[in-house]
Structure 1
Amino acid sequence: MFRRRTVLSVSAAAVLATAPLLTACGSGAHPGAAAVVGGERITVSQLQARVNDIRAAQSASPQAAELVRNTGRLNLATLNSMIFERVLERGAKDAGVKVTRRDVQQWRAAAEERAGGPERLKAMWLQQAIAPDEIDGVVRNQLLMDGLARRVGADRTQPDGQRRLAESLARTSRSMGIDVNPRYGTWDDRQVILGEHQDRWLMNAAPPQGPGMGQEAGQPGGEADGTG
């Protein structure tokens, strides 16, 4: 199974109280659903479409065999990301965090320059199962995470800050009543993760290799501080 670089430690979230298990979906109540998040369905067809998009991009790469080999259980990894995106979106919205298209474009332009060009950046992210047409969404999620961290007073470079942000997202997760089709596992509200899946939290929006690694989103691009 592949692993993405993380921006939060799951061990920090492990101190949170265990949430009760939810009724499994995919039954008569939610036919055709991979998961239900906040009352909205993530359908099996939506999940498969994203997986197919990633596989198509990987297949077009000169490193196709290696990319596919390193991204086993892609269905689980992708569903994990799709659920987490919705939790993050809700948490950021509740905190008054906004990210504009200009914020995303500025950060992405800076990342492309650090990586050595747009194609190099796409190739780097594809190593982590990010299809080219998903890049803007990943950057937006990273900026939402940055903005939410500031809103809750969490310094993500410190263990206490990681814990504070994890607690905020876990509260949001519990409030959304996340219900996963049992064929994919069980959603863990404590860690905001799908079962024992190893793709933990949101990847750092910096390229996985090359210049600019470790630089926080919003530097030098736009910042999501709730001012819109």
Structure 2
Amino acid sequence: MFGKSVKAAVAAAAAAGVLTGCGAAPKAGTAALVGDDRITVTELSETVRDWREQFRTDPVANEMRANPSNPAQQLGGDSESDLRGALTLLINFEVAEEVADEAGVEITEGRVDAALANLDRRGGAGSLTLATGLPRERTRDLARLVATQIAVMESFGADLTDQTNPATQRAGQRWNELFRRTADGMRIEVNPRYGTYDPGRFEINAVDQRLSRPDPGI
């Protein structure tokens, strides 16, 4: 279930209640708005730039990303998919905070430390973060997202030592539903140049180049 947690995080969580790519686009220089928080185009570009520099020199991360069976293998190889994948995670980090509040679960630093240690045992937290498409300085953010899913699922009755347990599978479904419902209730706007955010799939859908063009001046 832990591997699936990472996959859900990056496949890692554009329904009717979410303003993504329809109506007025975010103002110039904005990659996405999540509630009152703004993710700028500059922040996103610098994040992906740092990731690329670090990823090239990490053979473990390269091996993880090259393995189709690895849950970290979610992002494509072109520039736009790198940006889209990183932006997906930055959005999901913020949605997960609201999910924890909705579930009444406190994500303590101890929980984050435990998730970080678990990531380390599964190939190295820094390398796994690189394999998902974010630089190492975002490792604790990824661990917090994983810790959130684990804590919420446990509150739903999951036994994360047994992925086949029906209670664990039901808890996973409830997590997906809660994540989707929470994201639907938030003000999430994605710059159309990157696509549209789909909380049901935990990702940003690629923009249809036949119908959309990048926002001028961005």
Query: What is the TM-score with the length of structure 1 in the denominator?
Result: 0.64
| Matches of 2:199 and 2:19, distance apart in 1 | 10
Matched-pair contact (CA < 8 Å) for 1:91–1:168: yes
**Candidates 34, 37, 44, aligned match of 1:37:** 34
| Matches of 1:171 and 1:121, distance apart in 2 | 29
Residue identity matched to 2:28: P
Pick the structure with more helix per residue: 2
**Candidates 87, 91, 95, aligned match of 2:95:** 87
Compute the RMSD of aligned alpha carbons: 3.6
| Matches of 1:26 and 1:54, distance apart in 2 | 32
Equivalent pairs, count: 183
Where in structure 2 are the equivalents of 1:12-23 lying within 5 Å? 18-19=15-16, 22=19
**Structure 2 partner of 1:100:** 108
Where in structure 2 are the equivalents of 1:63-82 lying within 5 Å? 71-72=76-77, 73-82=81-90
Extract unaligned runs of 5+ from structure 1: 11-16, 198-228
Change (3 A) 1:155 1:42: farther
Change (3 A) 1:103 1:29: closer
| Matches of 2:103 and 2:148, distance apart in 1 | 10
**Structure 2 partner of 1:210:** none
Which SS does the other structure have where 2:28 is aligned? coil
Matched-pair contact (CA < 8 Å) for 1:25–1:36: no
Choose 158-167 or 58-67, whichever is displaced more: 58-67
Structure 1 runs of 4+ with >6 Å offset: 63-70
**Candidates 167, 170, 183, aligned match of 2:193:** 183
Change (3 A) 1:106 1:78: same
Change (3 A) 1:19 1:152: farther
Is 1:172–2:176 an aligned residue pair?
Answer: no
Task: Give the Å deviation of 1:28.
Answer: 6.9
Which SS does the other structure have where 1:77 is aligned? helix
Where in structure 2 are the equivalents of 1:24-63 lying within 5 Å? 24=21, 30-61=27-58
**Structure 2 partner of 1:7:** 5
**Structure 2 partner of 1:202:** none
Task: Give the Å deviation of 1:147.
Answer: 1.3
Task: Give the Å deviation of 1:48.
Answer: 1.2
